């Protein structure tokens, strides 16, 4: 008898992810102009409308509307049928960072308060929980099939959900896969499902070494019909997919969103730091599962709390794990930013398919094995 765990992800063209990518494209543009730029930008999209608001302190004049339109064009919203496109009106309400916050950050303090968690496990090659790893791969593959014209009848937007059976704490089988994606009404629902099984579900399950669920365990467009997705059917806002962005609810979350924030905001940078530490602990064979937690106060440089949990999976004494963990990275705000080289324009790519489990990002690096007494 097993237990079940379910996680979801969303396609790059999902309304909330449009907003995350626009906000992070602004961050990348600011960091390209000046690595010490301060950014905290929120985006909202709805029917034929884009609204941007927040704070940016940068010596260069950034064309916020141009940045937003380019992201939206890249995501495939170029057809009038979507009632939202790169030609939709853009309203911008962006000003400089508050001087009250700035004075604390200038001295190396955190740009916000809060709790951050990092997690890793040895269920997948990415050191991520299997349900969220599968969910991300499914929507990424679905987007790829549309962009490469293998399934040209698909339209931007989409979601996935995966139910995995665990036996004795380990993944055993994939029980259910749910996909939702808008498509050309000229293609039947049966054909869409058949093609998604062939080109998306079967290859992704095989990639992780599992059989796809039986056809009765596969759902495509549960309402039976989805023709037009995007902001015209569902308003999007930056920061509404924090569980999709992290571990698919497999691990705890401090509640802070990532996108649109420069690395002085520890909501983002400390979450990356704790993932880095947790992943290195698991990769070193010290535990099968690890959670690292920290907490910060606005304006202060060092965390006010830190801890490690291995859920009974530790393979070496806790004291040895702690010595190894805290030697990996200086957890002051400046130490994280410099140690992970975070003042670079790398963030737009994080804003789809999850911030963790992809080797392109510095917080995913594994340090060479070394002896820790």
Condensed to tens digits (0 to 9), the pLDDT of residues 248-289 reads 999 999 999 999 999 999 999 999 999 999 999 999 999 999
Q: Is 195 annotated as a binding residue?
A: no
Q: What is the pLDDT of residue 98?
A: 66
Q: Is 241 annotated as a binding residue?
A: yes
pLDDT below 70 — which residues of the chain? 1, 98-107, 369-373
Q: What is the pLDDT of residue 108?
A: 72
Residues 346 and 369 sit within 8 Å (Cβ to Cβ): no
Residues 214 and 183 sit within 8 Å (Cβ to Cβ): no
Q: Is 261 annotated as a binding residue?
A: yes
Q: Is 14 annotated as a binding residue?
A: yes
Q: What is the largest CA-CA distance in the chain?
A: 65
Q: What is the pLDDT of residue 347?
A: 98
Q: Is 42 annotated as a binding residue?
A: yes
pTM: 0.94
Q: Is 97 annotated as a binding residue?
A: yes
- Which domains are assigned to the chain? 3-10+130-220 (3.30.300.10)
**Which of 231, 232, 225 has its CA nearest to residue 182?**
225
Q: What is the pLDDT of residue 301?
A: 87
Rounded Cα distance between 222 and 220, Å, is 6
Rounded Cα distance between 239 and 19, Å, is 8
Q: Is 17 annotated as a binding residue?
A: no
Q: Is 61 annotated as a binding residue?
A: no
Q: Is 234 annotated as a binding residue?
A: yes
Residues 6+ apart with CB under 8 A from 20: 43, 238, 239, 241, 245, 258, 259, 260, 351, 352
**Which of 84, 167, 153, 164 has its CA nearest to residue 128?**
164
Q: Is 16 annotated as a binding residue?
A: yes
């Amino acid at each position: 008898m097993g237990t079940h765990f379910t996680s979801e992800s969303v396609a790059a063209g999902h309304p909330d992810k449009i907003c995350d990518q626009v906000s992070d494209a602004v961050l990348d543009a600011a960091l390209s102009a000046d690595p010490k730029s301060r950014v905290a930008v929120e985006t909202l999209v709805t029917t034929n409308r884009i609204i941007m608001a927040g704070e940016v302190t940068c010596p260069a004049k950034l064309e916020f509307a141009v940045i937003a339109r380019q992201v939206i064009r890249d995501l495939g919203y170029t057809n009038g049928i979507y009632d939202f496109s790169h030609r939709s009106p853009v309203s911008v309400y962006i000003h400089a960072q508050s001087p009250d916050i700035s004075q604390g950050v200038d001295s190396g303090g955190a740009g916000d308060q809060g709790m951050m968690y990092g997690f890793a496990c040895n269920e997948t090659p990415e050191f991520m929980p299997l349900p969220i790893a599968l969910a991300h791969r499914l929507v990424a593959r679905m987007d790829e099939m549309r962009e490469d014209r293998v399934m040209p009848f698909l339209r931007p937007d989409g979601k996935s959900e995966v139910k995995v059976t665990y036996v004795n704490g380990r993944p055993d089988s994939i029980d259910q896969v749910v996909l939702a994606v808008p498509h050309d009404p000229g293609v039947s629902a049966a054909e869409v499902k058949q093609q998604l099984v062939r080109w998306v579900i079967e290859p992704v399950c095989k990639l992780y070494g599992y059989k796809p669920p039986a056809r009765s365990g596969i759902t495509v467009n549960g309402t039976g019909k989805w023709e037009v997705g995007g902001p015209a059917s569902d308003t999007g806002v930056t920061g509404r997919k924090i569980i999709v962005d992290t571990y698919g609810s497999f691990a705890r979350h401090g509640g802070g969103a990532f996108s649109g924030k420069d690395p002085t905001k520890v909501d983002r940078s400390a979450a990356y730091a704790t993932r880095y530490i947790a992943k290195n602990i698991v990769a070193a064979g010290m535990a099968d599962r690890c959670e690292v937690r920290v907490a910060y106060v606005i304006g202060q440089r060092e965390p006010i709390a830190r801890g490690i949990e291995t859920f009974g999976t530790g393979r070496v004494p806790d004291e040895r794990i702690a010595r190894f963990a805290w030697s990996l990275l200086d957890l002051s705000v400046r130490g994280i930013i410099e140690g992970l080289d975070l003042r670079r324009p790398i963030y737009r790519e994080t804003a789809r398919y999850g911030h963790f489990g992809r080797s392109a990002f510095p917080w995913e690096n594994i340090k060479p094995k070394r002896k820790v007494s």
